[in-house]
Chains A and B, each alone.
Chain A
Amino acid sequence: MSRSPGLRVLDALEGVRATLWPRPLAPLTPWAFLVPALLLTGLLVAALVPLADASLRQLDRATFRLDESWSLANYAAVLARPVYGVMALRTLGGALIVTAVTLLLAFPYAWLMVRTARPALRRLLLISLFLPFFIGQVVRAYGWLVVLGQQGLANSLLAALGLPPLTILYTFPGVLVGLVQYMLPFAVLMLAPALTAVPEEVELASAGLGATPLRTLWRVVLPLARPGLVAAGVVVFTLTLTDFAMPEIMGGGTNDFIASAVYDAFFQLGDPGLGGAIAILMTAVGSLAVGAVLALFGLGTLGYVEERR
């Protein structure tokens, strides 16, 4: 029996597989599938090594070289400088506010997108979500400069109404506005699959049994949507905690987040030791926060596959 060309290609592939990956190796197949991703992600682990090493060596201001021997002097310097404490508090406070506001704004959007019976409305919501999601942070920040700048849209409108101009650009609230708008699509995309997993019948049953909509939301929908809320919260919080572009552009250097301190230590102060110490501290605090949330609530929709308990 002659075989089609397509089948012959498959036969050839199967031959290659049988030679390179004989049957006894079959139990290792999933690991072979994982190795490239593990190695690629390993580049990030490798990227932490020189930073950790530099963080343990003090810069000699006379020669501009790092010390031969290790010390914790850089960490002591970071913790001793109030300017970094102020920046860390601003970053942490900003991340908490942005996470809360983003979740509040994202939840109704995701709920309506998942529950609406009108395909046209769902499309509108999806496209409105993806358009900004697919436009990078720098371009969106530029858009906000045009909206909020001195001669921008907002102030032109205010002037037309005879109102005094608004100063929001280059302030802390201005940075938060840019960040919330940047994070909103991430949050909705994390929430939507979790809300889909909540059967609509459960909501209807709750209402049918006489629960008010608020009670249904509070006692039924929110608890069942927890995996999505956790994932969205974690993603928004960590992305905000470590953001660089929005505070730089929307804050104009007046409201830098901690990422700017790492950047400035490397590229303005020329002190890789100090920069490395801030980088390692920042990574540690962020990872601990994420680790604590995940240990409490599980991976939620952040996980690639459903968790087996």
Chain B
Amino acid sequence: MSRGWLLWLLVGLVVLDLAFLALPTLVVLIASFTPGTIIAFPPEGLSLRWYAALLDRPDFLRALWRSLLVGLVCTALAVPIGTLAALALARFRLRGGTALQVYLLLPFTIPLVVSGIGLMLVFGQLGWLGRVWPVGVAACVINLPFMIWAVAAAVNHLDPDLENAAQSLGAPPTHAFVTVTLPAVMPGIVTGALVMFILAVNEFLVSLMLVDARTVTLPVLVYNAIRSIITPDLAAVSAVYVGLALVAILLLDRLVGLDIFLRSRKS
């Protein structure tokens, strides 16, 4: 057997991965330009009618706006809370550090359907149901580990001597924090913020429990529509999501570089 077979297997699997990852996205984009009322392959032509139809649908526009609001609330909470937590975990030798890490991973070990129904009961007690901003709070709670990971990775790469140097040169703690620590971990903060925003805009299951007919978010709107009938207008809605994702990737690439996700978590 030739020595190269493992390499060919590797290349084969990666090509399969690429096709598999791209397939639903590409197909949805093609379907969104359907000229008729049913999606057909090969497409019978190109048309923007389903995009135009979206602009005439107030329910879609309101749901889009609500989802963007959910993303903003989630990000506004996650940035300070997650950054401070990551600094505390990565910077100081805390007693019970592993227990703290496990506790802060709870959003991953508690099933989303359980978190969703539980938060629905708690928010109901607090009188928060039927509004949009609590959905942002919920999205922040369940995705907070992503924010902490992003910032902690940046802190792990930060040379602690920088802060020590600033302090021993006479910088008061706040000065050192704002002028040395924050700029050094900024790539992690930007990465975390973008990921949190996108995850919140896409958040479905917990939203499903927290919204009512007047506060439907975009993923819930899509889900409800899928369950009735599959029409090309959903493909156009999906294409909006593809657009949002592309903008986020572009921002991530310009602001911090996508390579940040390849860095080792160790310092």
Contact = CB atoms under 8 A, between A and B. Distances in A.
Contact of A128 (B18, B81, B109, B148): B18
A33 B85 contact: yes
Identify the interface centre among A44, A153, A156: most chain B CB within 10 Å of its CB.
Answer: A44
Interface in A49-89: 49-51
Contacts, number: 333
Given A113-B262, A134-B198, A304-B90, A143 B238 contact: yes
B117 A275 contact: yes
Contacts of B88: 29-31, 33-34
Interface in B143-191: 144-145, 148-149, 152-153, 155-156, 172-175, 178-179
A109 B13 contact: yes
B104 A304 contact: yes
Nearest to A227: B265
Given A48-B118, A131-B25, A213-B6, 17 more contacts: A10-B174, A29-B92, A31-B88, A40-B144, A41-B103, A41-B141, A128-B21, A139-B241, A142-B238, A143-B24, A145-B230, A152-B41, A192-B262, A197-B265, A249-B223, A282-B113, A304-B89
Contacts of B18: 124-125, 128
Interface string B189-202: 00000000010011
Interface string B19-44: 01111110110010000001111100
A232 interface: no
B202 A134 contact: yes
B135 interface: no
B117 A131 contact: no
Contacts of B262: 113-114, 122, 126, 192-193, 196
Contact of A36 (B9, B31, B81, B245): B81
A47 B121 contact: yes
A169 B92 CA distance: 51
Interface residues of B, number: 114
Given A44-B110, A136-B219, A196-B262, A304 B178 contact: no
A157 B81 CA distance: 50
Interface in A103-121: 104-106, 108-109, 111-114
25 contacts: A13-B174, A33-B84, A33-B88, A37-B81, A40-B140, A41-B104, A43-B122, A108-B10, A128-B21, A146-B230, A147-B23, A149-B230, A156-B41, A235-B108, A242-B114, A244-B205, A249-B226, A259-B111, A262-B117, A279-B113, A282-B111, A286-B111, A303-B265, A304-B86, A305-B265
Interface size class of A (residues with CB under 8 A): 35 or more
Contacts of B103: 38, 41
A212 B178 CA distance: 52
A307 B97 CA distance: 9
Nearest to B173: A17
A212 B119 CA distance: 53
B266 A197 contact: yes
Interface in A174-214: 180-181, 184-185, 189, 192-194, 196-197, 212-214
A97 interface: no
7 nearest A-B pairs in the assembled complex, by CB-CB distance? A143-B24, A47-B118, A136-B202, A242-B111, A134-B245, A37-B85, A33-B88
A290 interface: yes
A139 B24 CA distance: 9
A129 B21 contact: yes
A166 interface: no
Contacts of A242: 111-114
B252 interface: yes
B21 A45 contact: no
A291 to B, nearest CB: 8
Contact of B97 (A127, A145, A263, A305): A305
Contact of B144 (A41, A111, A217): A41
A128 B81 CA distance: 30
A306 B109 contact: no
B117 A51 contact: yes
Given A123-B258, A127-B258, A143-B24, A287 B84 contact: no
A230 interface: no
A302 to B, nearest CB: 7
Contacts of B178: 10, 13
B244 interface: yes
A14 B118 contact: no
Nearest to B10: A108
